[in-house]
Amino acid sequence: MNTNTPLAEQLRPKTLEQVLGQTHLTGPTGPIRRMLETDTLNSLIFWGPPGTGKTTLAEIIAQQSNRTFFKLSAVSSGVKDVREIIEQAKKQNLFSGKSPLVFIDEIHRFNKSQQDSLLHAVEKGWIVLIGATTENPSFEVVPALLSRSQVYVLQALTFEQLETLSQIALEAYNDLNQTAFILEDRQAFIQYSGGDARKLINSVELVLNQFIGTKHQAISNEDVTSTLQQTMALYDKNGEQHYDIISAFIKSIRGSDPNAAVYWLARMLEGGEDIKFIARRLLILASEDIGLANPQALTMANNCFQAVNVIGNPESRILLSQTAVYLAVSPKSNSTYKAIGEALALVKKTGNLPVPLHLRNAPTKLMKDLDYGKNYQYAHSHTGNFVDVEFLPEELAGTKFYEPGNNPTEQKIKEEQSKKWKDKY
């Protein structure tokens, strides 16, 4: 092994058999293996967390399919770089008869014009494109390019696979450096890696480098954490983890689980999520998922939002926790959320139905002469401040949007509605 090359690069798999995990793609019946066996390679998008083998698979595919390999990073490349690569690829295609493979790392960072610059070359068969992304390609890759590519999802490595990888890294390090380190426990390495194979190998190399030349051979979790300083929670507040964790947070509250709600809240706080974003989501949830079952929930969430804006970190965690737990243990109802959804759907279907004349405003004599506002019944002039008249357009008379939820507050609302409207609603 080359001692100047990082251990993670030296251990990069060279064949499908060496790839750890991803057997759904690389196994005996996996689509990547079948592509290579039949030499029918299509453009691909690899979607998965960092360190799951996206770049490695692209390099293996290029090597085993005997294709010229071009690699670009969307972080540092522009349209000009893409066009230069495409021109080189066209020339290579003429000589080899096989379309070169162009690998775009972090393709989600390309804007629309940059992605469009690839489209023509893919359509003409000048290149086989492999894009790698940690973001959902449905949102980040232009539809025209996405429709011409097969999307394959790479899965995060399991705990057992990461344990295996840490042992592989340890043995490789010992062979390379003539050392005899042992790992008393691998948990700290695995926790620090966050499922990222490259990060795991790098951390093994970094920690062992600190003890090389000493008599300290048995590496403990304490040695790992003291060397790496802290174990960072896996959370990308600008990426898909952002959406996945806020989704888990909201669904935990909706599902009335305060413990899960506090856990996902902690994940977001530890990851540096914007506390105002969390507070806004709680404000929406208080109306969408609790609503009239506990009207106080909206007040609580609004007070939390205002207080978070005033107080800031780190004390806002207390307010957010209190509100999350309160909302989680509150009775739930989405009756008003469903009501507006059904009303909007009907508006789109029926269009601009005329407002009944008796409900129209009549600020001018002409409007009054046209019967605007005629026979309007002022509710407060009637017993109980109620009068039984039609407030919907004639074509929609009697249409029901709001169905009270099965909770004490809304059952009282249902009783009052029945007294007023009888069987109308």
Q: What CATH number did the domain enclosing 386 receive?
A: 1.10.3710
Q: What residues have CB less than 8 Å from 228, skipping those under 6 apart? A: 188, 192, 203, 206, 207
Report the mean per-residue pLDDT for the chain. Answer: 89
Q: What residues have CB less than 8 Å from 177, skipping those under 6 apart? A: 208, 212
My answer on whether 26 and 119 are in the same domain is yes
My answer on whether 222 and 252 are in the same domain is no
My answer on whether 143 and 169 are in the same domain is no
Question: Among 234-238, 304-308, 400-404, where is mean pLDDT lowest?
Answer: 234-238
Q: Which pLDDT band holds residue 368 (cuts at 50, 70, 90)?
A: confident
Domain termination site, one of 109, 126, 153: 153
- Number of other CB atoms surrounding residue 38 within 10 Å: 8
Assess contact for 350 and 368: CB atoms under 8 A. Answer: no
Boundaries of domain holding 174: 159-228
Q: Is the per-residue pLDDT at 318 higher than 90?
A: yes
Q: Is the per-residue pLDDT at 321 higher than 70?
A: yes
**pLDDT tens per residue across span 56-90:** 999 999 999 999 899 988 878 878 888 888 888 88
Domain termination site, one of 153, 180, 197: 153
Give the integer Cα–Cα distance in Å for 305 and 319: 9
My answer on whether 101 and 178 are in the same domain is no
**pLDDT tens per residue across span 9-38:** 999 999 999 999 899 999 999 999 999 999
In 3D space, the residue among 50, 19, 2 whose CA is nearest the CA of residue 168 turns out to be 19
Q: How many domains does the chain contain in total?
A: 4
Look at residue 336 and tell me if it is in a domain: no
What is the DSSP code string of 94-145?
Answer: HHHSSPPEEEEETGGGS-HHHHHHHHHHHHHTS-EEEEEESS-HHHHS-HHH
Q: Give residue 297's pLDDT.
A: 96
My answer on whether 275 and 163 are in the same domain is no
Assess contact for 85 and 99: CB atoms under 8 A. Answer: no
My answer on whether 62 and 106 are in the same domain is yes
**pLDDT tens per residue across span 141-158:** 889 999 999 999 998 888
**pLDDT tens per residue across span 248-273:** 999 999 999 999 999 999 988 887 78
Q: Output the CA torsion 168→171→175→179 (10° steps).
A: 150
My answer on whether 32 and 101 are in the same domain is yes
Strand partners, 132: 46, 105
My answer on whether 317 and 362 are in the same domain is no
Q: What CATH number did the domain enclosing 263 receive?
A: 1.20.272.10
Give the integer Cα–Cα distance in Å for 13 and 417: 69
Domain termination site, one of 98, 128, 153: 153
**pLDDT tens per residue across span 371-418:** 899 999 999 999 989 999 999 998 998 899 999 999 999 999 999 899
pTM: 0.61
Q: Give residue 116's pLDDT.
A: 85
Q: Which pLDDT band holds residue 163 (cuts at 50, 70, 90)?
A: very high
My answer on whether 195 and 247 are in the same domain is no
In the three-class reduction of DSSP (H, G, I as helix; E, B as strand; rest coil), residue 219 is classed as strand
